[in-house]
């Protein structure tokens, strides 16, 4: 069989959650020791949500709000790992493969640099790709804005997908 067409697609994802007491802080499927956690209908894993939205966007499949609405009780407390696994299934159905992912977590505190390799490992395992295809970075807002005041956390991601349609 000969590839009929090769398509390359780029997707961008962004997610933000409020930080509150009495919630876990889960980033990249890693539980981070923190006095504040992310508030959300699911586990509020901003990194995984941003990556999932980027993947869905690149494949023109909508967004996580469409596939996992917060109005659906079955999505309450959903693990980001489960959500991302389903997104991978959806993009594979459309014959897309992941070339690479670049992402940034934007958080004033706590510092998460020591967790980045574990995040990369978790994400690469969920996506079933080599860890070299997954980049995770962290930054602060230099104490500016809602993130700088420790009121919230954000993440952004960009992905590159390839698709080979076989004739």
Give DSSP secondary structure letters for 17-31. EEEETTS-EEETTEE
CB 18 within 8 A of CB 38: yes
Q: And the tokens for 88?
A: 């991978």
Please tell me the predicted confidence (pLDDT) of residue 78. 87
Quickly tell me which residue has 């067409």 as its tokens: 5
* Domain that residue 135 falls in: 3-166
| Pair 75, 68: CB distance under 8 Å | yes
Taking all residues of the chain, what is their mean pLDDT, rounded to a whole number?
A: 94
CA distances from 112 to 3, 127, 139 (A): 42, 22, 9
Looking at the structure of the chain, the number of domains it has is 1
Which residues, other chains included, contact 35 with Cβ-Cβ below 8 Å and sequence gap of 6+? 21
Tens of pLDDT, residues 71-109: 888 888 889 999 999 999 999 999 999 999 999 999 999
Which strands form 152-166's sheet, in the order they lie side by side? 37-38, 3-20, 152-166, 96-106, 134-139
CATH of the domain at 127: 3.30.1330.50
């Amino acid at each position: 069989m000969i590839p009929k067409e090769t398509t390359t697609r780029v997707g961008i994802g962004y997610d933000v959650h409020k930080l509150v007491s009495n919630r876990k802080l889960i980033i990249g499927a890693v539980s981070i020791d923190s006095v504040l956690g992310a508030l959300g209908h699911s586990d509020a894993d901003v990194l995984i949500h941003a990556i999932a939205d980027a993947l869905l966007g690149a494949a023109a499949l909508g967004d996580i709000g469409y596939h996992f609405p917060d109005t659906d009780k079955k999505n309450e407390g959903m693990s980001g790992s489960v959500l991302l696994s389903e997104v991978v299934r959806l993009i594979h159905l459309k014959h897309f493969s992941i070339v690479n992912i670049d992402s940034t977590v934007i958080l004033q505190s706590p510092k998460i640099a020591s967790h980045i390799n574990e995040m990369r490992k978790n994400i690469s395992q969920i996506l079933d790709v080599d860890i070299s295809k997954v980049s995770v970075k962290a930054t602060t807002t230099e104490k500016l804005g809602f993130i700088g005041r420790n009121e919230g956390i954000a993440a952004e991601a960009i992905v590159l997908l390839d698709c080979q349609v076989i004739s």
